Amino acid sequence: MTTSDELVLISGASTGMGAATARELARRGYHVLAGVRREADADAVRASGIEPVILDITDPEHIEAVARRIAADPAGRPLRAVINNAGIAVNAPVELLSMAEWRHQFEVNFFGHVAVTQAVLPALHASSGRVVNISSIGGKVAMPTYGAYGGAKFALEAMSDALRRELAPHGVQVVVVEPGGVRTEMTGHGIARLNDTLAGLSPAERGRYGGLMRAIVSHATAFTASGLPAEAAGRVIADAATVRRPRTRYTIGRDAAVLTRLSRILPDRLLDRLLAADLRPHFPKGQPATSAA
């Protein structure tokens, strides 16, 4: 069987790592079902070997339609892998983030991936295929204001471990990819949401968290600007989906590799101090960095 005889499904493929991974897999000869949320996004990603499919992973009807598309593939191609990549970032201190925002972040970054995986597992059982879950460095280390995002990614990591152990006896592999800094649009969207939250703070809330939130904006901007291009991340994700003997986890970028190792060996208090030191230079001048300590 050649790669052109196999399908790969990717969610969140309209921009960033998802789009880069779709292009890389198509270049390698796979037929990519590129999940996008809007028709305008479909037109932007459509290319040779890339077939856009409308997929909002929080919409059960979209998920069912994609599962039917895979099962009724006109060429009878098996599903080689599903790459659960869709995601959003909403940053705010735990005290300030509304419960609606908490639930929405988990719906997109966790429950949606579970739903997609459940829907396509019959096809993966038939093909001895693979589940690739795109986690984050935030699935190992949670910075201030990343409680909801990190919480969903920690949950994705745990689910992936359980799923890997459940499916191993049946020939289906499960892989986690943990990116660090990558130059994508998602960080910009997250910063815009954080700025909106910052603008709506009460004086007391601004006194507690204003400096921290501005520091996070600065830190995230610098972290993304110094990160890898999406194309480099796409190559790692494509390898995770297709190599014959994948590792259980892949990191993307030196920052992710270092921090994930440190999180395993350092005591919590020491890790707290290291993260605070990394964040401190980003606080506004004259603003004490007490929120980072």
Catalytic residue positions? 149
CB atoms inside a 10 Å sphere around CB 193: 16
The CA distance from 268 to 114, in Å, is: 30
Distances (CA, A) of 200 to 158, 197, 218, 239: 34, 5, 19, 43
Is there a contact between 65 and 123 (Cβ–Cβ < 8 Å)?
A: no
CB atoms inside a 10 Å sphere around CB 281: 11
Angle in degrees, 0-180, between the axes of helices 112-127 and 60-71, rounded to the nearest 10: 10
Backbone angles phi, psi at 171, to 5 degrees: 85, 10
Q: How many helices (H) and strands (E) does the chain have?
A: 11, 9
Is there a contact between 94 and 46 (Cβ–Cβ < 8 Å)?
A: no
Question: 183: which residues sit within 8 A by CB, 6+ positions away?
Answer: 224, 225, 227, 228, 229, 230
Beta-sheet pairing, 31-36 with 7-10: parallel
